Structures are given as structure tokens and as C-alpha cells.
Amino acid sequence: MLRVSSMYSMKKSRICRKSSSSKKRDGISSLPDEIIIHILSFLTPKDAAITSLLSRRWRNLWTFIPNLNFNVNHMARPDPLMRRRAFVRMVSNVLSLHSGQNINKFWICYELDCRSARYIDKWISFAIERKVENLILDLTEEQEIDVDPEMYTFPCFFFSDENALSSIKYLRIAGCILHLPPCFNNLKSLVELSLTHVMVTENELNKLLSSCLLLERFSVGNVPKLVNLRVSGPSLRLRYLEVSDCRSLDNIEIWAANLVSFIYRGRKVNFSLNCVPQLEDAIIDICDSTFDYVANICDHLAFNAPQLKSLGLRIVPLEVNTSLTVFPRLVNLKVLTLLVHESYDTALWYLLRASPFLQLLQVKFLWRLKSPFRTGGCKNIFSGHGTAFTHEFLKEVHMFGFRSRLDDIEFARYLLKNATALNILVIDPFIRYLDGWVEKENKATRKARDEARRLLKEAPANVHLLIL
């Protein structure tokens, strides 16, 4: 009897130790609910919901996650109509089960229109009631859109309610019609605003900007009705501004004393940079520019943005005004990035001369598909403008799209000779095309590398030539 009792005790002890060790191995379940919910917040709602099957304790934890990201990639149905219905049903079901009192991020990213308006209105109301801080509503396709009568209209009453949008710090709206009430002041906490493929008038947009007193980042793109953009205000905190692909835009006027970074991509417009004393980074990417236009932009920046340190420009084959004797000097410019269309241009020489304290130069050649490799006489460009110029502060140069053309070789030789402080010269033989495609390894890239290696013999001892 004693022996049987002893064997039973030993077996029970082994079971207890096994159970104890299994509990120790499940470290996640031993964590507090708050930490588990925080971990689940990095998952999609669909994946987070699956964890309810783990145990009784996990059954409802996922319903408290503060980040709700509903994305088109979560749906696998091939039929667009069935997939849209499934998406709407999934979002509605998740929100009906959600038990959290507050939401940090609420993201709807799916191609929807006015046919789903009653559902979208409820989703937005749900997020606002829970004091959402990051609201993203992206209803666009991966293509440009025009005026579409079936576009979803963002509810005007959200702007009329004084407290409705007061908690939002980040707001991104895409693929919607936006109508604002005559008077509103409820975006009290908004720090970042992004509008893409949005139907909004310029008066409404200017009114929106003037009412967001804490706004620091603003980006706008593909707004077809926008003709004149005015960003101004004595108490404006704006530090980042991006404007892209607004095809009706004619004028941009900026009075922003705190602006640090400015990006513009699109057609040629009239710039009026009246008060940007803290502007340090600027990118002006215009496909139809002229030499006088580039010179005018640089003149604006040199006078109104004396602290400019980094500049990006697109250079198309420009017709140079030979009467221009003095190009605006950018005395504080340290970084210059140039998108050059196919061949070298005289404007490149002017820009290098206008940046006496330049430290980093990046030249990226852009090509059209099936475009012939032209030779524009780079040697004549850099030697035909009087006395040689020494770039005594230029330390690093990147050449993207280097080929075995005479122009490429002569430009590299010019830099090796005149950039007396040069330490690093990076040569990338792969061509970037205007549609964004980058070529793969081929005979031309290998030939370009061979030409680049020959430059090693001419490079000073202090220059590191890196060939990609």
C-alpha cells in the first residue's frame, strides 16, 4: 500500500512539474492584459481576431486593440463586387464587436464610393466617438481620377460639430469630395494633413489651412480644381509642405515663417516665396521648365531662403539665355540633387558655379524608353565658360546612370580635377527611366563599369572611387 501511494505521489509530482514548465514556456499569456493588447495592436483586426481561439482568456482581448487597419490586401476574393461586399461586412462586424474606449489609429484603405456612404459614415462616427487621433480614409484606385459624381462625400456635419474632430492629430483623406461649412473651428489638435485625389475648391482649402493653427505638415496632390494655393498666416506653425500633380495649378504663394521643407512636383507655376526664412530643404521637380525659369526659382530661394542647405531640381534640355551674366548664388547650399534628362546641359555648369560651398552632389540621369544615347559636348560645356572653377568644399559625388559616353567620362574627369576636397565618387551604371523603371544588368552596364575603372588611373590618391 505504501509502495502504491509512493508511485502515485511521484506520478502526480511529474505531472505538476510538466504543467508548471508548460506555463513557464507560455510567457506571453503571463503578461498583463494591457501589454498583450499592445502587441495585438500591431496585427490587422482579422489576424488579431484569430487569437480569440487560443484560450478563454484570449477570447475578448483583441476587441480592445487601439489600432484598426482595414486594407484592400486583407481581401482575397477575385470578384470585385463580392470583395467589396465582404470588405464592408468585415469592417462592420469588427466594429460591432470592438470594446475599446479609445482608438489611436483608424485606417480604411479600399476602393469605395457613394454606394457605401451609409457604412462609411458609421465607421467615421465610430472612430470619432472613441477620440481617434490618426484617421486615414483612402478610397482611391491606383490611377488618376477626374470629377466623379459617385465619389464619396466626406460628411459636412463632422466639421460643424465643435468637438467631433477635436482629437484628430493626423488626417489623411483620399478619393473623396470635401465640402466645408461656412464656419468651423474644430480641428484644434491637427498636426498633419494630407489630401490626395480630393474634390475641394481653393477657397475651402485656404479656409481649412487658416483654421488649423497647430498644423506642421501639409501635403496636397491631384486636386483638379486647385488653381491658386495660398499658404499663409501670422501664427502658422507649418514646417513641411508638399504639392504634387495639381494639373490646374497656376500660382503658389507662401508666407510661412516656420517652413523648413518644401516639395513641388508638377507643371510650371508661378512661385511667390515671400517669407520662408527657415527653409532648409527644397525639391522643385518640373518637367517643362526653361533656363530662365530655373534661374528665377534660384533667385527667389537665394533672396527669401538664405538658410537653404539642400536643393533638388529637374534639368531638361534647356535653351540658355546667353545674355545672363550673373546666376543667383546659393551661398549656404550644401547638398544639390539634379534630375537630368538624358544629356548634359549648360544649366548644370551654372548651378555648380552658383553653389560655392557645395559638399554633396547627386546627378541622376533620366531616360525615355528607346531613347538614343546623345552626346551633348560636356567637355565644351565645362571648359567654354571662361576660367576654370575650383569646388574646394565638394567632398562627395554620386553619378546615377553613368554610361560609356564621352560626356559621362568628361564630367567625371572635370570633378576629379576641380573638386580639390573630393573624397568619394560613386558611379552607378544603371539607367533610371522616366516611368520609374530601372534597367537590369546587361552588356551596357558592364561596359560602363569598364570605362569607370579606367578613371581610377586618373583619380588622386585621396579619392575613393566606388563602382556599383
**What is the sign, positive or negative, of the torsion defined by CA atoms of 206, 208, 214, 217?**
negative
User: What is the average per-residue pLDDT within 127-140?
Assistant: 90
Nearest by Cα to 150 from 202, 178, 112, 181: 112
Q: What is the pLDDT of residue 22?
A: 46
Question: For residue 228, how far is the Cα from the chain centroid?
Answer: 23
- Give me the pLDDT at residue 5, please: 44
Give the tens place of pLDDT for each residue, 26-45: 567 777 777 877 787 777 77
H-assigned helices in 331-428: 346-353, 378-383, 406-418
Provide the pLDDT for residue 216. Answer: 93
Separation CA 377–CA 373 (nearest Å): 12
With 70 as the cut, is the pLDDT of residue 377 above it? no
Per-residue pLDDT reduced to its tens digit, 37-75: 778 777 777 777 777 777 777 777 788 888 898 886 655
CA distance 336 to 415: 15
User: Between residues 98 and 388, which one has the greater pLDDT?
Assistant: 98
Reply yes or no on whether the pLDDT at 159 is more than 70. yes
pLDDT of residue 78 exceeding 50:
yes
- What angle is formed at CA 382 by the lines to CA 379 and CA 384, rounded to 5 degrees? 90
For position 232, what pLDDT does the model report? 81
Alpha-helix runs per DSSP H in 219-339: 291-304
Residue 221 confidence (pLDDT) above 70:
yes
Q: What is the pLDDT of residues 224-265, one digit of tens each?
A: 888 998 888 766 889 999 999 888 889 998 888 899 999 999
How confident is the model at residue 380, as a pLDDT? Answer: 52
How far is the C-alpha of 335 from the C-alpha of 420, rounded, in Å? 17
Comparing 138 with 350, which gets the higher pLDDT? 138
Q: With cut-offs at 50, 70 and 90, classify the pLDDT of residue 8.
A: very low
- In the predicted model, what is the mean pLDDT of residues 126-139? 91
Quick one: angle between helices 291-304 and 346-353, nearest 10?
A: 10
Query: CB of 316 within 8 A of CB of 288?
Result: yes
What 3-state DSSP class applies to 146? coil
Quick one: angle between helices 443-454 and 406-418, nearest 10?
Answer: 30
Percent of the chain scored above 90 by pLDDT? Answer: 16
**Short-list 341, 399, 347, 405, CA closest to 367:** 341
| 464/396 Cα distance (integer angstroms) | 10
E strands, 291-404, are: 310-315, 335-341, 360-367, 396-400
Q: Which amino acid, residue 443?
A: K
The residue whose grid cell reads 533672396 is: 303
Give CA angle at 232 (231, 235), nearest 5°.
130
Write the DSSP assignment of 193-242 as a string of letters.
Answer: EEEES-B--HHHHHHHHHH-TT--EEEEE--TT--EEEEE-TT----EEE
Which tens digit of pLDDT belongs to each residue from 386-417? 456 778 899 998 988 877 777 778 888 888 88
| Residue with grid cell 489600432, as numbered in its chain | 67
User: Which pLDDT belongs to residue 242?
Assistant: 94
Cα 420 from Cα 397, distance rounded (Å): 12
CB 252 within 8 A of CB 272: yes
Q: What does the pLDDT average to over 118-143?
A: 86
Q: If you average pLDDT over residues 289-317, what whole number do you get? A: 83
Res 11: pLDDT: 42
Residue 169: Cβ-neighbour burial (10 angstroms; 0-12, 13-18, 19+) = middle
pLDDT at 217: 94
pLDDT-derived band at 7, boundaries 50, 70, 90: very low
Side chain identity at 87, as an amino acid letter?
A: F
Average pLDDT of the chain is 78
Q: In the structure, what pLDDT confidence band is assigned to residue 20 with cuts at 50, 70 and 90?
A: very low
pLDDT at 219 over 90: yes
- pLDDT value for 14: 46
> Three cell numbers at 123?
465607421
pLDDT attached to residue 4: 40
d(CA 139, CA 152): 8
- Unique residue bearing C-alpha cell 472613441: 130
Positive or negative: CA dihedral 412, 417, 420, 424: positive
Q: Alpha carbon of 38 to those of 61, 135, 239, 390, 455: distances in Å?
A: 10, 19, 31, 57, 55
Tell me what the mean pLDDT of segment 123-135 comes to.
91
pLDDT at 342: 61
Say what percent of the chain tops pLDDT 70.
78
R_g (Cα) of the chain, nearest Å:
30
Residues 410-438 have pLDDT tens digits of 888 888 888 888 898 888 887 766 555 66
pLDDT average, residue stretch 86-99: 88
Q: Check residue 21 and give its pLDDT.
A: 45
Q: For residue 30, with 0-12 CB atoms within 10 Å meaning exposed, 13-18 middle and 19 or more buried, which class applies?
A: exposed
